[in-house]
Structure formats: C-alpha cells, structure tokens
Amino acid sequence: MVNDSGQLYTIEGLAAGLIMIATAYIVLGSTIVYTPGDTHIADMQLETLGNDALRMMDTPQNLSQATGKSSPLTTILTKTTSGSSDEVSFDGTTFHDKFSFYCNATAVQQNDDNIQFYANVTYRNTSGGLGQYFINSSRNMTGREHAVRVTKWVKVDEQENWDRPQFVLVEVLLWRA
C-alpha cells in the first residue's frame, strides 16, 4: 500500500512554490511599469508649476496695471523706451528673476529648488509670417534635458518689427538640473 503520511507537507510545498512564482512574476512586471510612471508624475507636476508661474506673471499686480490692462509679463515683452530705436528689446533680466523666483520657491524658503528654464516668444512679423525671439534662460541647453513645455498667450501693444498690437506666444521649457 502506498504510504500516505506527509500529504499536507506536499500540498504546502506546492502552494508555496506557486505563490513564489506568482510573486516573482508580479515584482518583475512592476519594475517595468515603475520608471515611466514616475517620470509622468514628475512631468505633470512641473507642467502645472510652470503654467501657474506664467499665469501669475500675466496677472496685474496693482490697480494701475489692471486699468492699463498690463501685467509684469506684458511689461517685459513691450518695447522699452530707453533701448535703441531699431532693436527688439525685452526685459529678459526681469523675466529671469521673476520666473526663477516663482518656480524655485518652496513652502520653506526661496531658491530652494533647482528648476531651470529656457524661454522664447513667437510673433507675427510685418509680412504676416512667424518669427521667434529668445527672451532669457537660466542655463544653456545641451539637448539632453528631460524638459516639459508651458505656453502663454500675451497681448503686446508695441515692439520693434511688430507693426500692430498682437498676440504673441511665450514658450518656456522647464527641467530639473
């Protein structure tokens, strides 16, 4: 007659083996998902932050700006009277300071984060085609950055080579470095 002692051990061994194989399968599968999932979440947060910063910069800061329908961002993009008359002049320094300040301040302190940006503006030239100007950047781009893009429409009344009040698109690339 077949000896039937130790049957429970056999069943337990089988069950344990199955569970270990299943667990190994899940663990291996989850590592493949992990990396892209993480970058998407970081991208989303960076994009939200950048959009908020641009929106803050395009909000009037006081009553005279509100009645004049201007904002820090329109002031930056509008031709400065002190500049030479035939050159495009942006206040890139102010853009750099404000944008970096808004992006890198945390709840704890200022300049606590290390977010970098590269900003330019797309406009319509006098013949109706498109042109692009560089505004400012916090760092030169190498092309290896994992950047997200945020944009904002700004109405600018006066600038060299722009023959009328027009909507221009401010585009900012954001990345952590």
Partner 1 sequence: MNDSAQWIVLLGFLVSLSLFFLALLINQSTLVGQTTAEGVLEFPKNDIRDTRDAIISIVSEGGDPDSLCDDIRKISLERKNTIVNCTISGKTVVIHYNNGVTLYEETVHV
Q: Which residues bind partner 1 (CB under 8 A)?
A: 4-8, 12, 15-16, 19, 22-23, 26-27, 29-30, 33-34, 36-38, 40-41, 43-44, 47-48, 51, 69, 122-124, 128, 130, 150-153, 155, 164-169, 171
CB nearer partner 1, residue 34 or residue 101: 34
The pair phi, psi for residue 117, each rounded to 5°, is: -140, 160
The pair phi, psi for residue 174, each rounded to 5°, is: -125, 140
CB nearer partner 1, residue 110 or residue 151: 151
Q: What is the CA radius of gyration of the chain?
A: 28
CB nearer partner 1, residue 19 or residue 141: 19
SS3 97: helix
Q: How open is the CA angle 108-115-94, to the nearest 5 degrees?
A: 90
- Tell the smallest beta-carbon distance from residue 94 to partner 1 (Å): 21
The pair phi, psi for residue 116, each rounded to 5°, is: -110, 160
- Tell the smallest beta-carbon distance from residue 69 to partner 1 (Å): 6
- Tell the smallest beta-carbon distance from residue 165 to partner 1 (Å): 6
Residues paired with residue 148 on neighbouring β-strands, in sequence order: 174
Whole-number Å distance between alpha carbons of 158 and 88: 10
CB nearer partner 1, residue 23 or residue 61: 23
- Tell the smallest beta-carbon distance from residue 48 to partner 1 (Å): 8
